Structure 1
Amino acid sequence: MALWCCSNGNAPLASLEAHFNLWRIAGDKEFKGNGGVIVRDFLEIGVMLANPLSVEGINIYLPTVVEAADIEDCSPRLAEPSVAQGIFNEPLECTKVPRPARVDLKKNDVLFCRVHEFIKNGGLIDKTQLGISHENGGTIIAVSRNSIESVCSNWRDGERVYFRLRVFLSPENDHFIQVISPTDRNFQTGSEEIEYIDFRFNELRTLPAAIERRIKADEKGRAVPVTLIAFLTAFPINSDLAASSIQWHKNRLLEFKPWSDYVASGVPDGMVVYHWKRECEEGKSLLDFSSFVKLQTRRSGKKTVTIYLLVAFLFGLAGNLVASILVALFAYLYELVK
């Protein structure tokens, strides 16, 4: 995937932090969700801008087709102190500002950042604030200049603004999570399933050629430097982290509260969080980031055992049938020879 934004030439120049959280809640096959809501994995994308008024807009490319109904604004969640503190790992106070709508996060009475609240139209984010287009087999999500100006109302030097979007992934979506099931899983009461995440951010050589050309054209002399890239993944505790291409920054067991209500379907009790990040050197920009994560999960349960018993029964039935046929055949041949 990719994220890029361009400066409009105004001083002071902007910089950005990119945050990506991949929630693998559908990995818990026993979790049914609250109130019958379908359990789906989701990706959250957060962008922290310093000196935001010098930015024209924010562009995000996802390698899969996403509809407007699959995109949510996370700002209402960040109005809850326990959620905001959990996301930023800082002691924060949250204040909702009605006009223009936003959430102010403060640390020790000093503004930490302003969180933009997107305007909704018919239950979806308004097109004047968030553009969605399908290109090259993927989706480009564009945070407009209108959104930036809205959250920057009465802005003061040194203040930062934050945008956070949640993108739901369809069960058939294998662009972010690949699953390898053993071919003999129906012949066992339990099996080891492999899942892997190959997260690649702003690696131009892995992007469609048209997207690569667009990024280069947009950023020509106006690229906003990336100072930090953070990637976090949350998955069920019954999955083991088998391999990671880079050393994680930290990991922890996710508290059930407040995360149980973080998404409409709920979150399984017992999730493990791993966090990777990279910061740039003074005066430089991060160009790309990649992290390969391999998970190993023991799959068992009533359905698996039932399938195994059914297969075993059919094998036994087939064996008895073949044996009966062979006995009858040998008896017939014996009679013929006799």
Structure 2
Amino acid sequence: MKSIAIWYKPVNDNVESNEILDLHFNFWKIPNGSKRSYKFLDIGIKLSNTKNIKTLKIYFPIKIKENDFEDIVGKFIHKVDLVSAIFNENYKVISTTSSKSYEIRNAKNEFVFNIYKTSISDLTFEQKYDGTIININIPKQEITNYFRFRIKGDFINSLSSVSVPTNSLLESAFSEIEMIDFRVNEIRDLNQDLLEEMKIEKLLKIQKQHFFFICSKDEELIGNHQPFLSCRNLENYRWDDYVGIKNINKQIYLAYHWKETNVESASTLIKTKYEKNNWKTISKYAIFAFILAVIIELFSNWLYDLIK
């Protein structure tokens, strides 16, 4: 697994700037009956000062289709309870003169940061370094700005590997093990030419990184790179529209939380076990057991006749 990378191209190379970067990653894995689970990654980026940032850049180590990467601010910005749930604070939203920018204020009506909604014209895709660089045009302001995107498709599939337990035939039939390996700004995993481009432009140090793994209550966390900070139940009635998948209102989500502070790079490794006790799986093995029983019965009768 190769790492993603986040950096920026400055407006003025000679200006000394000290942008503080906070990252929020939400890896969603939602069961889909007997089919493959829905998976996608939400990416939240908070920058303390964007005045000298001409272009924010995100590199993915795989080719990204344009319809697999989208701005999702519109999925939550008009629901105050969802905004508060995402940031775990009691916030309110105020629309500014620009429809692309929203002020976030706290309970004392004090300004906290802006949430900026990019449009298609703000995003360009470059196929480079055996992957894709997404260039994001953002407002040049001396205030904190927050951006939120969602990526799905081949990149998400590349983050995980699925296997079955080997210690029991019955267990392997009804469960699977998945390992998720996610890395940000890991130098040893990045293309050398890409690293040169990042050094010529401006690197960003990660002040905070929050990583959430959201899954079904039936999924068991059996291994991770470090102990999680918390685990909580997400109210599905609040998050269903945000997730954007129909007919999942009976799902119960658990959100596991990990946090890194003041790092240049971050790695998250998660290992889970999921029980596949659906009717299709049960029926398949019931039919198999029936056929096996018939074969044993026929063989027994043949053997009995032969001996007789």
Shorter-normalised TM-score: what interval? 0.7 to 0.9
Query: CA separation in 2, counterparts of 1:98 and 1:180?
Result: 52
Matching residue's letter, 2:23: A
Separation in 2, partners of 1:290, 1:296: 20
Residues in 2 aligned to 1:221 and 1:133: alpha-carbon distance in whole angstroms = 16
Q: Flag the structure with larger Rg.
A: 1
Residue deviations 1:233-275 (CA, integer Å, cap 9, x gap): 1011111111221122222111223112112215553111111
Aligned to 2:6: 3
Contact 1:190-1:300 within 8 A present in 2 as well: no
Mapped partners of 2:171, 2:266: distance in 1: 39
Whether 2:18 is the aligned partner of 1:13: answer yes
Give yes or no for contact 2:93–2:104 (8 Å, CA) kept in 1: yes
The residue aligned with 2:253 is 271
| Contact kept in structure 1, 2:59 and 2:134, CA below 8 Å | yes
The normalised TM-score by structure 1 is 0.78
Could you tell me whether the CA contact under 8 Å between 1:189 and 1:304 is conserved in 2? no
> C-alpha separation between the residues in 1 aligned to 2:296 and 2:63?
49
Task: Give how far 1:24 is off.
Answer: 0.9
Whether the 8 Å contact between 1:254 and 1:273 is mirrored in structure 2 is yes
In 1, are the aligned partners of 2:174 and 2:281 still within 8 Å (CA)? no
* RMSD, matched Cα: 2.9
Structure 2: distance between partners of 1:11 and 1:136:
28
Q: Name the structure 2 match of 1:222.
A: 202
1:80 aligns with 2:79: yes
1:55 CA displacement: 1.5
Tell me if structure 1 keeps the 8 A contact 2:165–2:171.
no
Q: Equivalent residue for 1:174?
A: 157
Query: Which runs of 5 or more residues in structure 2 are unaligned?
Result: none
Using structure 2 for the length normalisation, give the TM-score. Answer: 0.85
- Matched residue count: 299
Give the conservation status (yes or no) of the 8 Å contact 1:4–1:215. no
Q: Which amino acid aligns with 2:255?
A: V
Structure 1 residues 258 and 31 mapped into 2: Cα distance closer, same or farther (>3 Å)? farther
Instruction: Report sequence identity in percent.
Output: 24
List gaps (5 residues or longer) in structure 1: 33-37, 120-124, 281-285
User: What is the alpha-carbon distance in structure 2 between the residues aligned to residue 56 and residue 91 of structure 1?
Assistant: 32
1:173 CA displacement = 5.0
- Work out whether residues 190 and 305 of structure 1, in 8 Å CA contact, stay in contact via their aligned partners in 2: no
1:23 Cα deviation (Å)? 0.7
Aligned residues of 1:79 and 1:95 also touching (Cα < 8 A):
no
**Counterpart contact for 2:19–2:49, Cα < 8 Å:** yes
